[in-house]
Amino acid sequence: MANIIDIDSIKNLILSDDIEVATISRLSGVNVKTLYNYRNKTTGIGSMPLEIAIALYKVANDPNLTDTLIGLPRGIDAVLLKSGGMSYKVSVSLEGKKMYVGTFYDKSRAIAAQNEFKFTHRDKIRSPKRGKKVASKVDEIELKPEIAALVKKTKGISLYKDRHGRITGFRAEYMHNGKRVYLGKFPTFEAAKQAYDNAAK
Q: Is residue 83 part of a domain?
A: no
Determine the structural domain holding residue 100 and report its residue range.
90-134
pLDDT confidence of residue 153 = 92
Q: What is the mean pLDDT of residues 150-179?
A: 84
Range 143-159 average pLDDT: 90
Q: Examine residue 16 and state whether it is found in any structural domain, yes or no.
A: yes
The pLDDT of residue 137:
46
Rounded to two decimals, the pTM is 0.45
Q: Which residue has the higher pLDDT, 128 or 90?
A: 90
In tens, the pLDDT along 37-64 reads: 998 888 988 889 999 999 888 888 776 6
Residue 112 lies in a domain: yes
Rounded distance, CA 123 to CA 116, Å? 13
The residue type found at 27 is L
pLDDT tens across 172-182, in order? 888 877 777 88
pLDDT at 111 over 60: yes
Q: Tally the C-alpha atoms within 13 A of residue 8's C-alpha that lie toward its C-beta.
A: 0
Question: Where a domain ends, among 80, 99, 134?
Answer: 134
Question: Half-sphere exposure of residue 29, counting CA atoms within 13 Å on the CB side?
Answer: 7
Half-sphere exposure (Cβ direction) of 199: Cα atoms closer than 13 Å: 29
**Total count of domains within the chain:** 3
Domain membership of residue 82 (yes or no) is no
The pLDDT of residue 65 is: 66
